[in-house]
Structure 1
């Protein structure tokens, strides 16, 4: 499975990358970085660090530092830490350089190089994908699938995590999200409807720290502050595996249930960043819902299946490494 991982690391991004690096069927072609959980310089440094930490040989390409039209969002260090990886000191003294090619350009090049084979897995703001579409609209007919962590569509317990209706990745660049959803390529959105049900408990994280080798221990260490936020805000001991759920959906689509239809992202006003699905078959007067491609939205999840797949994949890789 050839994958371009578009990411803004981020603690749950690190968890998703660890899963991808451990999955025997994942062929990572590139990591492309974007602003989001920190400025793009921070997320790019984190991506470079994580590939080395996890022993993943994949080039990193720096991408967009601001949204298409809106001001850059204010970082949220109370979520991921000032360094984006939990402020445990792991990045002290680390320095590395991304590739010279920009992320949107490399996305286009790789899709052109492997027509019909590349899955774009995007777990941050969708700016790089929108810029790639601008560079080469023809890639819509060449990509295998676009899987995103983003949005909230009304089926789950959480409609928004930045506003009452908006999920962070979408509100950070709603214009890019709307462009990605309305382009004629296959998009599958893994939103808060399902990711907020995938709660990896503190006990499970402790168990993975013991069975998952250095990677499991590192993921436990960086997620202490992340879990604290969930404990104080939501009242449970653990954290939601937002980006991990999207990564798992690439390989285990049967763990999710879906609805299909046209999708738009709201680009102004009080509902900025809201994602709206018009399910196939519903008729409305002419307007914003005309001639949209039918996209796929996740509406339910086998949460235990997702959690088990994540822990098992990382633990199995650690045991194979130990045995060798």
Structure 2
């Protein structure tokens, strides 16, 4: 028997996502990892509008041979503010590297008839203490779920988000990371709800960098999921080359880092601080941590501040090329 048959999953995750190239990497990593059982996927605006991110989520599950996993379509705009620019300039017109994903490939796959926030509430409340919410897009669906049923903060096992930054400059403003900036009101609700939150922000995601040699190894492998990641990567690589001047086809490893933390938390260094999110002004969407522990009595957030980048990348490569 292989490991996936013999090792019971440590985490049952509800994956909230806006696929997105790095979202695809994260979801595929979760699906091939025996430590993780993906019990559902919820979609949100961000890297594109929600119709496109929902289509991409369905197609990714079909690609991975898991069309049985339910998908619930979620919010297409923030809770309070108008929706800003979506991320096609980073991820391509189809948000999947311009590979031509314009339709759902499997006609039998359809999203659920209930919105994502309701699906989150029903899933968490039906299995108290079991569900880990992994959110790698704007936090709108999770914020709406908290408004629908505040008790999910006690019923969820924990929450892991890709978003925010403590000490690293922002990627959509001098101080803000994109997912938090896209819906700061939702983020403020999530950070203040009192549940166990881990923030995999730019402090670690920009310190773990895939390069052209990494993607070439994926393309050479006999694994179709690895080959798919190699196929969608070039648009993402071009963005990083033009935006940040990264050499050698380098890209930041954003969303997969949240999954890597669940699989191997010892590869990361974390600090626990209270976090505030400004809702307007020049610092809108920043994640300000009380690193002295003197000023804010609010709930503590597990902020990832360092990573063993070579081991994180090796884990990803080995699992996707097996």
Q: CA RMSD in A?
A: 1.3
Aligned counterpart in structure 2 of residue 89 of structure 1, from 100, 122, 141? 100
Q: What is the Cα deviation at residue 25 of structure 1?
A: 2.1
SS in 1 for 2:283: coil
Aligned counterpart in structure 1 of residue 318 of structure 2, from 309, 312, 316? 312
Residue pair 1:49, 1:91 contacting (<8 A) in 2 also:
no
Aligned counterpart in structure 1 of residue 301 of structure 2, from 283, 295, 303? 295
Q: Which runs of 5+ in 2 are unaligned?
A: 1-10
Aligned counterpart in structure 1 of residue 69 of structure 2, from 35, 55, 58? 58
1:73-127 superposed Cα distances (whole Å, 9 cap, x missing partner): 2123220001110111244573642111111111111111211111100000001
Greater alpha carbon shift after TM alignment, 2-11 vs 261-270? 261-270
Q: What is the Cα deviation at residue 283 of structure 1?
A: 2.1
- Cα distance 1:24–1:135, how it changes in 2: closer, same or farther (>3 A)? same
SS in 1 for 2:284: coil
- Cα distance 1:212–1:165, how it changes in 2: closer, same or farther (>3 A)? farther
SS in 2 for 1:194: helix
Which aligned segments of 4 or more residues in structure 1 are displaced greater than 6 angstroms? none
Q: What is the Cα deviation at residue 282 of structure 1?
A: 2.7
Aligned counterpart in structure 1 of residue 287 of structure 2, from 272, 275, 290? 275
Residue pair 1:230, 1:239 contacting (<8 A) in 2 also:
yes
Distance 1:272 1:212 in 2: 45
Q: Which residue of structure 1 lines up, in the alignment, with residue 115 of structure 2?
A: 102
Q: Which residue of structure 2 lines up, in the alignment, with residue 261 of structure 1?
A: 273
1:6-53 superposed Cα distances (whole Å, 9 cap, x missing partner): 000000000001101111121111000001000111100110111001
Q: What is the Cα deviation at residue 302 of structure 1?
A: 0.7
Greater alpha carbon shift after TM alignment, 302-311 vs 84-93? 84-93
Q: Which residue of structure 1 lines up, in the alignment, with residue 3 of structure 2?
A: none
- Cα distance 1:265–1:89, how it changes in 2: closer, same or farther (>3 A)? same
Distance 1:208 1:201 in 2: 11
Aligned counterpart in structure 2 of residue 47 of structure 1, from 47, 54, 57? 57
Distance 2:183 2:130 in 1: 27
TM-score normalised to structure 2 length = 0.92
1:242-264 superposed Cα distances (whole Å, 9 cap, x missing partner): 00011111121111111112111
1:75 has 2:51 as partner: no
Distance 2:97 2:169 in 1: 26
Aligned counterpart in structure 2 of residue 181 of structure 1, from 188, 191, 204? 191
Q: Which residue of structure 2 lines up, in the alignment, with residue 216 of structure 1?
A: 226
Q: Which residue of structure 1 lines up, in the alignment, with residue 41 of structure 2?
A: 31
Q: What is the Cα deviation at residue 133 of structure 1?
A: 0.6
Aligned counterpart in structure 2 of residue 130 of structure 1, from 143, 155, 163? 143
Number of equivalent positions: 307
Greater alpha carbon shift after TM alignment, 145-154 vs 69-78? 69-78
Q: Which residue of structure 1 lines up, in the alignment, with residue 25 of structure 2?
A: 15
Q: Which residue of structure 2 lines up, in the alignment, with residue 151 of structure 1?
A: 164
Distance 1:40 1:89 in 2: 17
Distance 1:105 1:36 in 2: 20
Q: Which residue of structure 2 lines up, in the alignment, with residue 320 of structure 1?
A: none
Distance 2:42 2:76 in 1: 12
Aligned counterpart in structure 2 of residue 141 of structure 1, from 140, 154, 159? 154
SS in 2 for 1:129: helix
Distance 1:29 1:76 in 2: 27
Distance 1:71 1:85 in 2: 24
